[in-house]
Structure 1
Amino acid sequence: MKEVDMNLLPNLHALLELRNVSRAAERAHLGQSAMSAALARLRRHFDDELLVRAGREYTLTAFAQNVAPAVEEAMAKVHDAMQMRSELDPTDTDRTFVLAASDYATTVVVRPLRALITRQAPQVSVEIMPIVGLDAGLEAFGHVDVIIGPMGYDFGGSNRQLFRDEFVAVMDSANPLLDRDQLTLEDIASAPHAAGEFGPGVTTPPMQFLADAGVTPVIAARVSGWQILPFLVEGTDLVALVPRLLAGRLATGLSVTVVEFVPELEMPVVEAMYWHPLQTTDLASIWLRESIQQVCRKIRAEDTVPTHPVRIGPPRNTR
């Protein structure tokens, strides 16, 4: 195979397009003798005349006519490559992203993320799908760009922690429990509970915590996810355990009260984002992940949910 001098490609392109050595030299910012030397090398390489005289003009040989489209395409690809940047301009992006998230992550993260994207990248589209029922491991990323969900679950792929939250108790503001000077885990467990569930075999952090603490809650209502729980407890005697940030966003306008646990009883939940390792260096994917992180950095700073003055403490037999 003949060695290819890629420096000759722009010269070949100019010669085939302009069909004139002088004008091709002018376009390439070369002297006419240098372009003539390049044409001679190209003729030797292809073993073809490429340009032949027809009166006072040049015309392309049959081979040159056949090779011209490939040269045009190659130059277009080189041009596109040279236009690439190390950073993405989001205003020029019209990509559609698919996010998988729980109802909790959708309320806490996706809503402000959508607002940020609208400002920074108005042509970008974001589709949201539920996290329940996703394929295990990397298979999910065949149709999902990013998964937002809790740490500790086998979503597969690369991941990065986004923010930390903790569970609080939410109940109707007229619930008699709020009249007590002290509240314990036993008090909360003895009240009828509305529990959020996430499918067969999935034990949520608050249910696991209560079981480890040796208290068994009375489950009076079961719903899918956590988002509906603040609405469900309003006007009832039900108690629900939900992430604090979710409670803060949903409790506004409802007649419900948020009750915190004492620090030693804190039930944490850590949210993370997951993506396919092959997307780690994709510029558009990097921009999306950085946008998600930007939103999450503000989430806790904007946490202003009012809480009940009495916190929930340990069971009485451990006090």
Structure 2
Amino acid sequence: MDLSGIARLDLNLLVPLEALLRERSVTRAAARLGLGQPALSASLAKLRRHFHDDLLQRVGNSYVLTPLAVQLSHRLTYALEAIGQVFDDQIPFDPSEVDREFTLLASDFATATIGGAIADLLHHTAPHAQLRMSRFDLNSVMLGRTDLVEAVDGLVLPHGFVSGLPYVDVFSDRWMAIVSSNNLTVGDRLTDEDVTKLSWVVTYRDAAISSAAEWSLRLHGIEVTASIVVDSFLVLPALVADSNRAAFIESRLVPRAVAAGDVRAVELPGERSPLVEALWWHPSRTDDPAHTWFRAVVVEAGRLVSDSR
């Protein structure tokens, strides 16, 4: 874009021009702008020299717009609105004009639960936007690697793993377990003894990390013996089927797990605290209009999957 012509213009004349054309009177335009009449008369003289046109012509005791001034009055409305938006720190956000990729770090459980709902909402409200849901390194998140969150639009993770970041709750679930369909040594609800005797497939676990279900059992003196550790919930049925193993699983994944075959769902002993999945984001994105809108989309996706149960 060649801005050399614009650079030579006195853009301070735009506001006086709009007032003069609207009021069709130097006196009324000056009063509207809070300026003295001589100052506005000087602006009108500059405008007449620039356009080589009177702009305002006296007819009897009043002024009328010249044909050029009529054309300018229509252009001015759009020009001043556009300039106002440039300097407005609250630029209107239109989702339909979004053409970018939104990235979330999430487990395969969260992706399977709300990924489709988020994508559907984006398709209807921001058809040019894309969604990327990627896996994350939980150890890095717990070590406070805020740079990981800063580089994406958010992290979908239950409470208890991260702190110091703004968040909004998205959906809740509860913990259950799956065992092999041919494991007849346990009933529909595990006992404390069952938990200790079974060999467990656990997710996202190391010396410092374990699931909320494990922590809850441990607080009641029940220890879990892990034989396999995986960073995926969707592979649990394959590792439990036709074995003496068991796995903690979110209740929303139970139908998918049972449909995979050769496993059945059982209740855990005692009462478990609910699992609350939240969207966490870097503070620098809090006031970004696009991110504010996207957070609302994620929350709405959580509401939709909750209502569908």
Do they fold alike, i.e. is TM over 0.5? Answer: yes
* SS in structure 1 of the partner of residue 128 of structure 2: coil
Identify unmatched segments of 5+ residues in structure 2: 1-10, 30-36, 55-78
Question: What's the CA shift string for 1:26-63, capped at 9, x where partnerless?
Answer: xx33437568966644499xxxx686599x779xxxxx
| Counterpart residue identity of residue 178, structure 2 | V
Tell whether 2:178 aligns with 1:170. Answer: yes
- Cα distance, 1:95 vs. partner? 3.1
Task: List aligned pairs for 1:105-144, cutoff 5 A.
Answer: 105-132=110-137, 133-134=140-141, 136=144, 138-144=146-152
TM-score, scaled to structure 1: 0.68
SS in 2 for 1:162: strand
Percentage of pairs with the same residue = 24
Q: What's 1:69 paired with?
A: none
Instruction: Give the distance between the partners of 1:105 and 1:218, measured in 2 at CA.
Output: 25
CA–CA separation in structure 1 for the residues paired with 2:225 and 2:26: 93
* CA–CA distance in structure 2, aligned partners of residues 182 and 243 of structure 1: 15
Report what 1:292 is aligned to.
298
Residues 246, 86 of structure 1: CA spacing in aligned structure 2 closer, same or farther, 3 A cutoff?
farther
- Give the secondary-structure state (helix, strand or coil) at the position aligned to 1:295: helix
Q: Distance in 2 between matches of 1:247 and 1:87?
A: 43
Equivalents in 1 of 2:179, 2:91: separation in Å?
Answer: 51
Please give the alpha-carbon distance, in whole angstroms, between the structure 2 residues aligned to 1:181 and 1:294: 34
1:297 aligns to what SS in structure 2? helix
Residue 294 of structure 1 aligns with an amino acid whose one-letter code is E
SS class of match (2:174)? strand
Q: Specify the alignment match of 1:31 in structure 2.
A: 24
Question: Would you say 1:227 and 2:220 are equivalent positions?
Answer: no
Tell whether the 8 Å contact from 2:179 to 2:263 is kept in structure 1 after alignment: yes
Tell me how far 1:227 sits from its aligned partner: 2.9
Q: Is the 8 A contact 2:98 2:129 kept in 1?
A: yes
Equivalences for residues 135-154 of structure 1 within 5 A: 136=144, 138-154=146-162
Q: Which of 67, 92, 95 pairs up with 2:97?
A: 92
In the alignment, which of 248, 266, 279 is matched to residue 272 of structure 2? 266
Q: 1:116 Cα deviation (Å)? A: 2.2
Check 1:157–1:142 CA distance in 2 against 1; reply closer, same or farther (3 A cut). Answer: same
CA root-mean-square deviation: 3.7
Report the alpha carbon displacement of residue 114 of structure 1 after superposing the two structures with TM.
1.5
Q: Secondary structure at the match of 1:164?
A: strand
SS in 2 for 1:248: helix
Map of 1:275 onto structure 2: 281
Task: Supply the distance in 2 between the matched residues of 1:182 and 1:9 (Cα, whole angstroms).
Answer: 77
Matched, 1:156 2:149: no
In structure 2, what residue type is equivalent to 1:216? Answer: E
Distance 1:181 1:107, change over 3 A: closer
Conserved 8 A contact 2:190-2:266: no
Deviations 1:223-261 (A, max 9, x none): 123332123212333211112123334433423211123
Query: How far off its partner does 1:199 sit?
Result: 4.8
Aligned residue in 1 for 2:243 = 236
Using the TM superposition, name which of 235-244 and 250-259 deviates more: 250-259
Distance in 1 between the 2:247 and 2:282 partners? Answer: 35
Paired residues of 2:196 and 2:224 also in contact (CA < 8 A): yes
**AA aligned opposite 2:238:** F
SS in 2 for 1:240: strand
Partner SS, residue 188 of structure 1: helix
**Do the aligned partners of residues 157 and 216 (structure 1) sit closer, same or farther apart at CA in structure 2, a change above 3 Å counting?**
closer
Contact 1:155/1:274 (<8 A) preserved: no
Match of 1:254 in 2: 261
State the AA in 1 paired with 2:24. G
| Structure 1 residue runs without a partner (length 5+) | 1-5, 15-23, 59-73, 304-319
Secondary structure at the residue paired with 1:161? strand
Rate the CA distance shift 1:32–1:275 in 2: closer, same or farther, 3 A.
same
CA contact (8 A) 1:108 1:249 kept: no
The offset of 1:172, in angstroms, is 1.9
SS of the aligned residue for 2:213 comes to: helix
Contact 1:170/1:259 (8 A) holds in 2: yes
For 2:264, give the aligned amino acid. T
Asked if the contact 2:13/2:47 (under 8 Å) is kept, the reply is no
TM-score, length-scaled by structure 2: 0.70
Q: 1:222 to 1:257 in 2, by over 3 A?
A: same
Q: Is this contact kept in 1: 2:213–2:272, CA < 8 A? A: no
Aligned partners of 1:273, 1:239: CA distance in 2, in Å?
29
